[in-house]
Structure formats: structure tokens, C-alpha cells
Amino acid sequence: MTGWRIGYSDSTRPLASAMTALQSHMTSNIATPSQYAALAAYRDEPRVDHAVRAMVNVFRRRRAKALEMLAAHLPEAKVLPPAGAFYAFVRIDRFFDGQTGDSIALCRRLLEETGVAAVPGAAFGDDRCIRLSLAAPESDIAEAIRRMGTVLGVTPAGQTT
């Protein structure tokens, strides 16, 4: 249920109370259709297990493709390989210059010049990085990373200028 923003906690009562107090000031309630969808998912365990296994395989392929493309088209970027998330956290401060001196400016440049949307690492406490979603089809991930390399002036690994 990627993007549905629904979850649960299996915790102690004091921890659940503390999480509830924090959450109540950060977000509003989950939409009713999302709640029914989550309930249906939990009630149909065999079908859900099959779907989850299939999604895990898809996301493993996407992660592998993204890491392959990042190595080829942004070899100077440092990548924190995702262990289980739908995102790659990529250190890109090597590409900062006079016009793009932080992750916000670099993300703006990527969006304006390539149509690729990335999230500034500043939102996660590390302005040297950007976050890339791996929730898109492999071909879209590959094209996005290729475009990023082109706009950042990177010669793909194995090619000469």
C-alpha cells in the first residue's frame, strides 16, 4: 500500500501513548477508505502474502537497476544502498557549484532542467544528499538517472569524452 500512509504499532501501552501524543500533533486522521483497504489487506492473508512477495521481487529489481544506473551515470555520487525502503539516499555535494550550493538548489535544477523530481536531503538532516524514489518502473528510474548524469555533466562510466 505504497503511499497510503497507514501503519500500526505492536508496542507497550506507555510507548503507544507517547506515539499517539506525538502523532496527534503531526498528522490528521487516516481517511476512511484507507482504513477499510488496510483492514481488507489484513483479512485476506494468503492473497496478501503472495502480493507482498511479488512486490518485494519488483522492488529488489528496481533497487538493483537504480544502483547499476547510479554507478554508471553518477559514479562520483556516493549511494547509501537501501536495505528495505523505496528510496535511495545519494550523496551529491560533489556536484554543488556557485549556482547549486545545496540539496534544495540541486533538486530545483534537476526538476527544471530534466523533469526529474528528487527530495532534498536537507529535509532529512543531511544537505549533502538527495532522496530518489524507487517506486517508479525500472525504465523510468533508468531514464531519470541518465538525465541527471547528463545535466550534471558526468561522462558515464566506461565512456570517454
Q: Which pLDDT tens digits describe the chain residue by residue (161 residues)? A: 666 777 778 899 999 999 888 877 777 677 888 888 888 888 888 888 888 899 889 999 999 999 999 999 999 999 988 888 889 999 999 999 888 899 999 999 999 999 999 999 999 999 999 999 998 999 999 999 999 999 987 665 555 44
In this predicted structure, what is the pLDDT of residue 62? 93
Distance, in Å, from the CA atom of 132 to the CA atom of 140, rounded to the nearest integer, reads 12
Report the predicted TM-score, pTM, of the whole model to 2 decimal places: 0.74
In this predicted structure, what is the pLDDT of residue 1? 62
51: its cell numbers: 502480493
DSSP 95: G
In this predicted structure, what is the pLDDT of residue 161? 46
Distance, in Å, from the CA atom of 92 to the CA atom of 130, rounded to the nearest integer, reads 7
3 state DSSP class of 138 = helix
Domain map (residue ranges) of the chain: 47-151
In this predicted structure, what is the pLDDT of residue 65? 92
What beta strand segments (E) does 17-157 contain?
78-80, 87-91, 119-120, 129-133
Cα 78–Cα 83–Cα 88 angle in degrees, nearest 5: 40
In this predicted structure, what is the pLDDT of residue 128? 96
What beta strand segments (E) does the chain contain?
78-80, 87-91, 119-120, 129-133
Count of other CB atoms within 10 angstroms of residue 10: 5
DSSP 100: -
The percent of the chain in helix, strand and coil, each rounded to the nearest 5, is 55, 10, 35
Q: Which CATH superfamily is domain 47-151 in?
A: Aspartate Aminotransferase, domain 1 (3.90.1150.10)
In this predicted structure, what is the pLDDT of residue 63? 93
68: its cell numbers: 547499476
Give the closest residue to 84 by CA, choosing from 64, 56, 61, 58: 56
